[in-house]
């Protein structure tokens, strides 16, 4: 991976392919590798940029306050891209939304797959998950915290492990463990979501929903699709929360024509 160093540490990133630039932003339980299955197809028509958010994957832990939108702007400036297409999953989807709100002149189109909604009134299932994860981390049982998160974000509540691609747990386990090891420091220094009205977003927008995801995130996706003017809602019948892992072929079939607009 390539490295962009700054006063807070460094961001690790990769660039693949040639053509109009597309930035892929990973989920908060993963790193840039969650997009591995979709990059070859996208790179046939685009310059595909992936990076590990600060404190994830191979990017350094932050040494002070930082903003995910500032990090993305800094990376784009470093690479010389004035305007890009953004594609984000889960927390990466919210980063993409925030960047679009903060720097609308630098975004050509926006894809948000299962993004969170700041201040959302979480269901009892989500509250219970958070309590179990918090207890595991407080007890120093990182293995159990990984298990809890794998159950929530990869398997989900709508299927059994036998229904999940057998290769996916091993692909996610390492990046997930890193995210859990670093989340306290990242959370301490991250400035969090941007304040802004999604009704002001004017770029072409696609919102993705996994039909096997927890009900909270299905509702949130529909909120985004209803709140962003002229947004398109795409539903992925075989995917849970992590659409690029669960349904890469279906995702490519939706992304390719949308990004070509």
CATH number at residue 237: 3.40.50.1820
Is position 89 within any domain? yes
The total number of structural domains that make up the chain: 1
CA–CA gap between residue 116 and residue 29 (Å, rounded): 13
The pLDDT score that the predictor gives to residue 249 is: 98
Nearest one of 68, 65, 56, 75 to 3, comparing CA atoms: 75
pTM, whole model, 2 decimals? 0.97
Any domain includes 65: yes
Assigned domain for 169 exists? no
How is residue 188 annotated by DSSP? Answer: H
Residue 98 lies in a domain: yes
The verdict on residue 220 lying in a domain is: yes
Q: Which domain holds residue 203?
A: 2-120+188-259
- pLDDT for 195 equals 83
Range 127-144 burial, b when 16+ CB lie within 10 A, else e: eebeebbeebbeeeeeee
**Looking at residue 194, what is its pLDDT?**
83
Residue 24 contacts residue 5 (beta carbons within 8 Å): no
Phi then psi for residue 3, to 5 deg, are -135, 135
Element holding 128 (H helix, E strand): helix 124-138
Q: What is the pLDDT along the chain (261 residues), one digit of tens a residue?
A: 999 999 999 999 999 999 999 999 999 999 999 999 999 999 999 999 999 999 999 999 999 999 999 999 999 999 999 999 999 999 999 999 999 999 999 999 999 999 999 999 999 999 999 999 999 999 999 999 999 999 999 999 899 999 999 999 999 999 999 999 999 999 999 998 888 999 999 999 999 999 999 999 999 999 999 999 999 999 999 999 999 999 999 999 999 999 998
Q: If residue 130 lies in a helix (H) or strand (E), which one and from where to where?
A: helix 124-138
In a domain, 134, yes or no: no
- From the number of C-beta atoms within 10 Å of its C-beta (0-12, 13-18, 19+), residue 218 rates as middle
Decide: helix, strand or coil at residue 70: helix
Q: What pLDDT was estimated at residue 193?
A: 83
Rounded Cα distance, 188 and 192, in Å? 10
- Would residue 217 count as lying in a domain? yes
Nearest to 179, CA basis, from 59, 25, 30: 30
53 belongs to a structural domain: yes
């Amino acid at each position: 991976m390539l490295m962009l160093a700054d006063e807070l540490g460094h961001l690790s990133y990769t660039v693949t392919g040639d053509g109009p630039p597309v930035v892929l932003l990973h989920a908060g339980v993963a790193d840039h590798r969650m997009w591995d299955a979709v990059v070859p197809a996208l790179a046939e028509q685009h310059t595909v940029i992936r990076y590990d958010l600060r404190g994830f994957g191979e990017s350094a832990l932050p040494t002070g306050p930082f903003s995910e939108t500032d990090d993305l702007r800094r990376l784009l400036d470093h690479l010389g891209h004035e305007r890009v297409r953004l594609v984000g999953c889960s927390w990466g989807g919210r980063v993409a939304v925030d960047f679009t709100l903060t720097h609308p002149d630098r975004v050509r189109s926006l894809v948000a797959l299962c993004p969170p909604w700041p201040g959302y009134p979480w269901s009892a299932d989500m509250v219970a998950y958070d309590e179990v994860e918090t207890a595991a981390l407080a007890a120093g049982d990182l293995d159990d915290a990984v298990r809890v998160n794998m159950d929530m974000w990869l398997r989900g509540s709508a299927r059994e492990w036998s229904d999940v691609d057998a290769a996916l747990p091993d692909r996610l386990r390492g990046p997930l463990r890193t995210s859990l090891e670093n989340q306290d420091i990242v959370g301490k220094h991250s400035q969090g979501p941007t304040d802004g009205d999604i009704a002001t977003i004017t770029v072409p927008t696609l919102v993705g929903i996994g039909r096997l995801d927890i009900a909270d995130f299905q509702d949130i996706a529909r909120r985004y699709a209803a709140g962003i003017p002229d947004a398109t809602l795409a539903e992925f019948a075989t995917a849970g929360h992590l659409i690029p892992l669960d349904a890469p072929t279906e995702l490519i079939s939706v992304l390719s024509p949308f990004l070509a607009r």
